[in-house]
Amino acid sequence: MEKKRILSGVQSTGNLTLGNFLGAINNWVNMQEEYDCYYMIADLHSLTVRNDPETLRENAKKIIALYVAAGLDPEKNNIFVQSHVSAHSELSWILNCYTYMGELSRMTQFKDKSAKHADNINSGLFTYPVLMAADIILYQADLVPVGEDQRQHLELTRDIADRFNKIYGDTFTIPEAYIPKTTARIMGLQNPEAKMSKSATNLNDVIFLNDTPDTIIKKFKKAVTDSDNLVKFDPENKPGVSNLMQIYGAVANKSNEEIEKEFASRGYGDFKMTVAEAVVEKLKPIQAKYNELLSNEDYIRKIYTKGDENARKIANVTLKDVKEKVGLII
């Protein structure tokens, strides 16, 4: 039986976070036997904000190292660099011509990012969802792991693919959202109302996968809770405590009921320290492997070179079909 294909990616800006690991990469590791997996370093998407060029390049390599260190087997997964597959940019332009201004203007992420980067509201921010659509349907992806913040973009991708198919006949697979049975939605330590983000301005809000044990412990000690001193899962009324429970449950494989029982007569200080130590232990082998991989640049290059080649094979077939259908000379 042919495996269903999954595509996802991470921008090459900033370091990966505990949220990236528990909410996405951990699930990807569990999927690598069952699915045909393509994971890209979304460096073209990273250009919507101004980056230091050398940092951007190094971040891409770091993400590949972290992917593998976290358990993604490069022999079972195709890990590639978006900008190394020119079909992404070519298909994105073609799809721009089948996407309406009104659709793009309704994208909430454009509004959010425009507010955050008021001095750089570029057209790339506006057309970002079209490139994302090209990323997905270029590989005829059946499934796309998405969080709530990307669901709107996936719906637009489905609309664009369906519109093209209705004009030119069956061309693109209409992708579905992949929702894991169990997934942790990790929020910020200082702002538990918002998702933990690698672009956070307050560094105490986020745990990076390459943070030192001391840094991790310090950040958890400062994590926002409340005045109840009661470890109870209640996201609406106790968002900070509930977030810490989510993290602890994910790294220690414990249910909310087990955690509540464990800390029934213990205070927040003890609870925070236990969560911090559990995270440190979970990340210790990943960090050791990451540092080993990062010192072997030839191996990192070998991983993405192989992934690039596999990605091009599929992408170029789709792009050729699209070009023929819209009337371009091949």
Residue-wise pLDDT tens digits, 94-144: 999 999 988 888 877 666 666 666 676 778 778 889 999 999 999 999 999
The whole domain housing 129 covers: 5-179+296-326
Length of the chain: 330
- In this structure, the answer to whether residues 109 and 212 fall within a common structural domain is no
> Is 249 part of any domain?
yes
Contact present, 274 and 251 (Cβ < 8 Å): no
- In this structure, the answer to whether residues 213 and 316 fall within a common structural domain is no
The predicted pLDDT at position 14 comes to 65
The predicted pLDDT at position 120 comes to 67
The predicted pLDDT at position 55 comes to 87
Tell me which residues are annotated as active site. 113, 195, 198
The predicted pLDDT at position 46 comes to 86
Please state the domain count of the chain. Answer: 2
Residues of the chain with confidence (pLDDT) below 70: 1, 14, 109-118, 120, 147-149, 180-184
> Is 188 part of any domain?
no
Q: Using CB atoms within 10 Å of the CB of residue 44, give its burial: 0 to 12 exposed, 13 to 18 middle, 19+ buried.
A: buried
- In this structure, the answer to whether residues 283 and 311 fall within a common structural domain is no
> Is 189 part of any domain?
no
- In this structure, the answer to whether residues 67 and 129 fall within a common structural domain is yes
> Is 186 part of any domain?
no
- In this structure, the answer to whether residues 170 and 279 fall within a common structural domain is no
The average confidence (pLDDT) of the chain is: 90
Contact present, 103 and 124 (Cβ < 8 Å): no
Contact present, 153 and 109 (Cβ < 8 Å): yes
The predicted pLDDT at position 169 comes to 96
- In this structure, the answer to whether residues 120 and 40 fall within a common structural domain is yes
Contact present, 243 and 186 (Cβ < 8 Å): yes
